[in-house]
Structure 1
Amino acid sequence: MRLTLFFCYLWVALVTGQLPPDIEKCEAGDSTCIAETVTRILRLHPKGLASIGLDALDSIGFENVIVSRIEPDGSATLDLRFHNLTVRGFADSTVAEAKGFEAELPRVLEIGGWIPLLKLEGFYEMHGSLLSMPIQGKGQAQVEIKECRFRCKVRAMEQFREDGKRYVEIAKVKCLLDVQGMHLNFKNLFNNPELSDAMNDVANAKWLDIWHTLRKGITSAVDQLVESILKRVADKLSYDDFYRN
């Protein structure tokens, strides 16, 4: 009987989208509680939480990520893309601010916080110039972004469904990032191990200049990542069920 009740509860949770008992619900408008609750979800469920549509955050894969592209009449001097990319570290995010989560859904929600360490790994291809020096190569790469502070604005629209509840339709996500450090390791630059090591050393010594060069592309990738995460959760978990009755 208990096993039957358990599977009934699990089925209802998966279909309707419910927060599990270990996650505290907040009053609408309680920004502190909401920020703490989102952080708690990330800490307790790094492998994801199917009942609310949350996929695993400890390792997230992408295909064909363009970080920088040389375009006619553009300012970019570097073509850099990852054919495949794995991002680790989002599960360690701390959400410090959550604005706009009121009983009446506003058009814009804001989420702010920090990530201690973001790790990006994948197969890259690059050519152009970096730090005013010609550069080219393809192979494996690792990028570590330290103390990444983020502030994301989420454009949202209210949607009523047949179950009589309100859901959030995510229209657009735009984030601002600020980092305290970055370490790069691009293998096989110039098809020469010694030149590759030397170029990585120069890039790491001037990491802030590199960050300014790559920030737009990395931020765009984060925008897409956050948007995809929020869309899946918002499609599963109603806005009404997120709050305490």
Structure 2
Amino acid sequence: MRSLVLCLLTVVAFGSCLKLPSSFKKCDRKRTDFNQCLSDAIYGALKILDKPLPSHGLPSLYDIEFPDEVATIGNRTYGLLQTYYRPRCIGLSKPENINAKLEFGPLTSTLTIEATYSQLTVETGFEAQGTIVLLPVNVVTPFEYTLVNPTYTFTFELEEYEKGTTYFRVIDSKLDMQAHGLKLDYKQLFSNKILNDEFNSAMNVKWREIFALSKSIDEDVFAPLFGTIVNGFLKRVPVADLFDG
């Protein structure tokens, strides 16, 4: 009864009394195999997140939409103004492998998660105004690209703070994306289906160049968004409930 009262008082005072779900693996930071345990724990957690876990601030990572996000490339005066909006990432809860490490420091700690996949798909809305080789373009169409055998490496810088007990929060996040292939599909860029298909085929032949151009834009867009997701979880679960030791 005393622990229940204490928990209720903590909820009132600090807004949180959550522990890890029983399905989440807990690791001992003092063990030499801590990072391997952490890798297994994150792998298992991602598998669970086919469905959202709202009590812990976690959305489904199988199909996650960022409705407020917009990226703009180019301009209509000298070529083509392109706007990509409302991206949806599909497949993040289905990693083939996870390698994670957490380096604890006196001021900040660094969490690195390297996740490999067979494929990941991003769907967005797409608008374009301008010209392609003198052909006028003014179009709104769905757009989809699929990364083949990608590796996403997330880096989160964490700091501890006190709110009745010790918590982590993300103060910086980075993302590095690598892939062995890229398939692009502008669904209705041109009304002529043959022309549309030929355009997509020509773009896919040049996937390496396109990936090199778009990589930094995607990384800059998605890194802070995933930092926000991780923060939503960390502010609900004390460090002592994340790790032993």
TM-score, length basis structure 2? 0.80
Q: Which of residues 112, 115, 133 is equivalent to 1:113?
A: 115
Aligned residues: percent identity? 20
Contact conserved, 1:135 with 1:190, CA < 8 A, in 2?
no
Aligned length: 227
RMSD between aligned alpha carbons? 2.9
Give the stretch that moved more between structures: 115-124 or 30-39. 115-124
Alpha-carbon spacing, 1:45–1:176, altered in 2? closer, same or farther (3 Å) = closer
Output aligned runs, 1:134-149, within 5 Å. 136=137, 137-149=139-151
Alpha-carbon spacing, 1:240–1:135, altered in 2? closer, same or farther (3 Å) = farther
Alpha-carbon deviation of 1:64?
4.7
- 2:163 maps to a residue whose letter is R
Contact conserved, 2:84 with 2:126, CA < 8 A, in 1?
yes
2:47 is aligned with 1:58: no
- 1:141-198 deviation digits (Å, cap 9, x = unpaired): 1211121112222122211002xx2111211211111111111110222443332211
C-alpha distance in 2 between matches for 1:129 and 1:32:
52
Give the stretch that moved more between structures: 222-231 or 45-54. 45-54
Alpha-carbon deviation of 1:215?
1.0
C-alpha distance in 2 between matches for 1:28 and 1:98:
11
Aligned counterpart, 1:230: 230
- 1:40 maps to a residue whose letter is G
Output aligned runs, 1:45-84, within 5 Å. 45-70=49-74, 79-84=81-86
Aligned counterpart, 1:91: 93
- 1:151 maps to a residue whose letter is T
Aligned counterpart, 1:24: 25
- 1:189-223 deviation digits (Å, cap 9, x = unpaired): 24433322111010111111111121122212321
Alpha-carbon spacing, 1:192–1:234, altered in 2? closer, same or farther (3 Å) = same
Gaps of 5+ in 1: none
C-alpha distance in 1 between matches for 2:129 and 2:200:
15
Q: Which of residues 146, 159, 162 is equivalent to 1:160?
A: 162
Alpha-carbon deviation of 1:36?
0.8
Gaps of 5+ in 2: none
Q: Secondary structure at the match of 1:47?
A: coil
2:38 is aligned with 1:37: no
C-alpha distance in 1 between matches for 2:45 and 2:92:
12
Alpha-carbon spacing, 1:222–1:60, altered in 2? closer, same or farther (3 Å) = same
Q: Secondary structure at the match of 2:244?
A: coil
- 1:120 maps to a residue whose letter is V
- 2:189 maps to a residue whose letter is L
